[in-house]
Structure 1
Amino acid sequence: MRAFISIDLEGMPFIVSREHLFVKGALYSEARKIATEITLTVAEALHEKGFDEVIVADSHGPMVNLLIDELPEYVEIVRGFPRPLSMVAFAKGSDIGMFLGYHAKAGTGYATFDHTYSGASVDYLEINGVRVSEFLLNSYVLGHYGIPVVLVGGDAKLIEEDVRRFTPWAVEIPFKNAISRYAAKSPSMKKLKKELKIAVAEAIRRYEKGMTEPLKVKEPVTVRLRLLRSDMADAAELLPQINRIDGKTVKFKAGNIGDAYRIFELLVLAAAGVRSIARGDTVRIS
């Protein structure tokens, strides 16, 4: 059997400073160790329960965060950015999905590092009129492939507002309770590791009993994306299928959620290019 795990950093326990999140950050090495220890705990629990393949998608920032020397032989790791389907690349063919270190969507109060995919570009993202978090967007993609999300570990606000609403069958593990964007309380790592092992066993039990299901979104999908600046929408509008709604908001349709995800990724990359131009960086096109 094959399990798929998508790993983010902002929803990991103990991670509260921007210095945790960037390759050159003073606390980045600590964040890498935390994320790797959490990932290993879950992978080992899955393997003990009969999963001979565990696909781990390293999915924060440049997507090269986990300490690969720590990973056992039954784990395959997806690294690097950009890549098609980003945080859920190579999920297809898995039996179950799990999300670890996930955070709340942009605009959520009392949640650490609330944002949606790119805090530097995206104000909000809507799929079929529903404002989505990364958790919900990625759950839809897994659902498209028939994969149920069976366990989510991350920010308590994400669990309260999205996980319980959209995937009530998923086992919940709050890694942190935030009192501001940059402050939160987390249980000890020892306690979390014990809880994670119990949670994995319960998630597998629910899956085997038929208590879980893939989260489906009605297709074709309508996507509404509000960017942070008008020049980003200028760039997005260069694609013929993009409709400009107002100065910062664009809208498009896609045949399925996978195609919608790819177009969204491209728009975020275009927005990053626009930021570089605005900073006066040299942009070479030949």
Structure 2
Amino acid sequence: MTRVLISADMEGATGTVSPGDVEAGTPRYERFRRLLTQDVNAAVAGFADGGADEIIVNDAHCGMDNVLIEELDPRAVLIVGRHKPLGMMQGLETGVDAVAFVGYHAGAGEQGVLAHTYLSHSILGVRIDGVPVDEGRFNALVAAEAGTPVVLVTGDDLTCRDAARYAPGCRTVTVKTAISRHAAICRTPAVTSADIRREAAAALSSPPPRPTVRAAPHVVEVEVDSPHLAQRACALAGVEPAGHRTVRMEAPDAREALRRFRALTWVIGGGREGDWT
């Protein structure tokens, strides 16, 4: 039996280029959550074509309730809701053979459409064991420690380029080419859906080798845009200053590193100051 986990983010979905496209409650959001669902359905169809027996979709964007379940391909099940122990990687703990990142994006401090790492503000960069990471690379490390390869990544061109580095041999689909943080050359949904379905099927017919695992424990460093956020983060047990705007923490494995990092983002996000002059 082949089981596949699709982690579905939204900033890298077909057509999305501005914050209003991916923020619940804005006029454009309902339109683009439908396009996200279409990207996810293309991946589901492709993995089914490739012989997957079970496909789990984990809604991984913001409130984690964006994929339209009434329009989801019935060959998949959906994990929905935000309070999940593994966050974007929920479902991995059930034991899967392959992971796909659909709608992913570049990391904080990088070029790319809607680039960020977990927070759309405040975080300037994240490193694990000295290596810069975005959400894809971080999540791929979690998958690697479970012995599970990342077989498909979709997003803008810079996201796909980075995926080739952290998941050698994975299939990628560039749904748009970044011009700036809020502009891109976008391919149409009919074209991107066809490409995602084709590459998902191919990903199972010739999957990459089992990933190599970076030795644990791991040191996570987070750079923020204001010293007061670093000071606030150090209120968490195990978080230490590593500079005026940088904090560090150690974790015994990638899952625990992800759990602690998510807690860190909640603390940092809650300390952001409003606009003032």
In the alignment, the residues of structure 2 paired with residue 74 and residue 174 of structure 1 have an alpha-carbon distance, to the nearest angstrom, of: 25
TM-score under structure 1 normalisation? 0.91
The aligned counterpart of 1:257 is 254
- How far apart, CA to CA, are the structure 1 residues paired with 2:225 and 2:79? 29
**Is the 1:19–1:28 contact (alpha carbons within 8 Å) kept by the matching residues of 2?**
yes
Partner of 1:137: 138
Q: 1:239 aligns with which of 221, 227, 236?
A: 236
| AA in 1 matched with 2:253 | N
Structure 2: unaligned runs, 5 residues or longer: none
5 Å-filtered alignment, 1:94-243, equals 94-109=96-111, 111-160=112-161, 162-207=162-207, 211-243=208-240
Work out whether residues 142 and 215 of structure 1, in 8 Å CA contact, stay in contact via their aligned partners in 2.
no
The CA deviation at 1:251 is: 0.7
Q: Which residue of structure 1 aligns with residue 84 of structure 2?
A: 83
C-alpha distance in 1 between matches for 2:86 and 2:145: 12
Confirm or deny: 8 A CA contact 1:148 1:215 kept in the other structure.
Answer: no
SS of the residue aligned with 1:56?
Answer: strand
Shift in Å, 1:72: 3.6
Tell me by how many angstroms 1:157 deviates: 0.7
Counterpart-to-counterpart distance in 1, 2:4 and 2:241: 39
Residue identity in the other structure for 1:194:
A
Contact 2:22–2:33 under 8 Å retained in 1: no
One-letter amino acid matched to 1:91: L
For 1:115, what is the secondary structure of its paired residue? coil
Residue 70 of structure 1: how far off its partner (Å): 1.4
Output the amino acid matched with 1:213.
R
Taking the TM superposition and a 5 Å limit, the aligned residue runs for 1:10-89 are 10-89=11-90
Is this contact kept in 1: 2:12–2:102, CA < 8 A?
yes
Q: Which runs of 4+ in 1 moved over 6 A?
A: none
Given that 2:105 and 2:159 are in contact with CA atoms closer than 8 Å, whether structure 1 keeps it comes out as yes
- CA distance in structure 1 between the aligned counterparts of 2:215 and 2:153, rounded to whole angstroms: 23
SS at match of 1:223: strand
Post-superposition offset of 1:30: 1.1
Cα deviation 1:227-278 (Å, max 9, x = unaligned): 2222222222122311111222111111101111111111111112223xx4
Aligned-pair CA distance for 1:215: 4.8
Q: Displacement of 1:174 after TM fit?
A: 0.5
CA distance in 1, matches of 2:22, 2:131: 28
Give how far 1:48 is off: 3.0
Distance 1:205 1:49 in 2: 6
**Contact 1:10–1:101 under 8 Å retained in 2:** yes
Deviation by residue 1:208-235 (Cα, 9 ceiling, x = unmatched): xxx4322522211011111222222222
Question: For residues 3 and 188 of structure 2, what CA distance do their matches in structure 1 show?
Answer: 29
TM-score by length of 2: 0.94
User: 2:73, 2:198 → 1: CA distance?
Assistant: 20
Question: What amino acid sits opposite 1:226 in the alignment?
Answer: E
Amino acid at match of 1:104: A
Question: Helix, strand or coil for the counterpart of 2:249?
Answer: strand
Unaligned runs of 5+ in 1: 280-286
Partner of 1:282: none
What corresponds to 1:271 in structure 2?
A: 268
